[in-house]
Amino acid sequence: MFEDFQLRVVDTPQGPIRIRIGGEGKPLLLLHGHPRTHMTWGQVADRLVPEFQIICADLPGFGGSYLPADTSDSRLSSKREKARALLAMMQTLGHEAFSVAGHDRGSYTAFRMAMDHPTTVERLVVIDCIPILEHLERVDWRFARDWYHWFFFAQPEKPERAILADPSLWYGNVSPDRMGQEAYDDLVRALKDPAIIHGMVEDYRASLRIDHHHDHADRLAGRKLICPTLCLWSAKDDLEQIHGDPVAIWRAWAENVAGFSIDSGHHVAEENPQALAVAISDFLRSSTG
């Protein structure tokens, strides 16, 4: 994976961000989900790099990127603040406008980046995601049963202690079989680091403390995404089963949105990288005519 990519650390005002970068085409930023690092994108990046310059970044608080400082409202772990840091990183690389695709937790930062910086994000891909506010307003017994970690991770101290007691048990779906040995080794290192576990949990705390307020302010102001938006979801995951048609939900937040499911479990970049790469490539090419 990541053939002919460079591993770099880019300094931003918020802190350093670890990336892999390759290719010479139009820039595309790829943001991973929980508990992965940028390495989850390897098989997708290799398929996209002939067409695009691919930048895979560790989210702040994850992997090899900076750990946001703690505050009572988790504002430095908010998706708004992470989007600012990643935007500064892209500008350091010379990109004033680019497309962004995010999976899971990375999708929330990608969404916030497109909402807050509409002249910068040209096209947006969100994968296994609806806006945080929509999740919270739609909570029912199924969400509480299957996504209970949202509320557990919002509690102080206990989540980190529970995870670090046995990371391999907590994240029992981790395996090198599909993700590749290098990505697996990178992930295992991250999951043994108490600082990274804390950073990942703070990402969830920020959702329940501050991120949903940002979404609510957008709704009250009538703001919508103006860039073309593609919504994808894993058919063998439970987003659609719990919340209904994700595209219908995104229509309240985006002026131009389409989407469909991909035959995969939750970690789609590892489980069906070919279908995901084709979906992203087709969308970006059709958007540019």
pLDDT score, position 174:
80
Query: What are the sequence ranges of the domains in the chain?
Result: 6-288
Active-site annotation holder among 46, 104, 128, 237: 104
The SS3 assignment for 247 reads helix
Neighbours of 220 (CB within 10 A): 8
Amino acid 11: pLDDT: 98
Note the pLDDT of residue 1. Answer: 85
**Fold of the domain built from segment(s) 6-288:** Rossmann fold (3.40.50)
244, pLDDT greater than 70: yes
SS3 28: strand
Query: Contact, 186 vs 37, CB < 8 A?
Result: yes
Q: Determine whether 266 is an active site residue.
A: yes
**pLDDT for 134-168, tens place per residue?**
999 999 999 999 999 999 999 999 999 999 999 98
pLDDT at residue 289 is higher than 50: no
* Bond preceding residue 118 cis, omega within 30 of 0: no
Is residue 267 flagged as an active site residue?
no
Quote the CA–CA distance of 5 and 19 in Å, as a whole number.
10
- Which of 56, 44, 41 has its CA nearest to residue 6? 56
* pLDDT one-digit tens code per residue, 99-122: 999 999 999 999 999 999 999 999
Question: What is the Cα–Cα distance from 14 to 32, expressed in whole angstroms?
Answer: 19
The residue-averaged pLDDT of 198-215 equals: 98
| Average confidence (pLDDT) over 223-237 | 97
Instruction: Compute the average pLDDT of residues 238-253.
Output: 96
Catalytic residue from among 32, 214, 266, 267: 266
Other CB atoms within a 10 A radius of the CB of residue 200 amount to 26
Q: What is the mean pLDDT of residues 34-52?
A: 96
Query: 15: phi > 0 → left, psi -120 to 50 → alpha, else beta; which?
Result: left
What is the pTM assigned to this prediction? 0.97
Name 258's bridge partners. Answer: 230
Could you write out the DSSP letters of every residue in 157-210? SHHHHHHHH-HHHHTTT--HHHH-HHHHHHHHHHHT-HHHHHHHHHHHHHIIII
pLDDT tens digits, 122-131: 999 999 999 9
Count of C-beta atoms within a 10 Å radius of residue 6: 9
Cβ neighbours around 222 below 10 Å, total: 6
The conformation of residue 37, written as its DSSP 8-state character, comes to -
Average pLDDT estimate for 71-78? 97
pLDDT surpasses 80 at 256:
yes
At 164-187, the pLDDT tens digits run 999 989 998 688 988 899 999 999
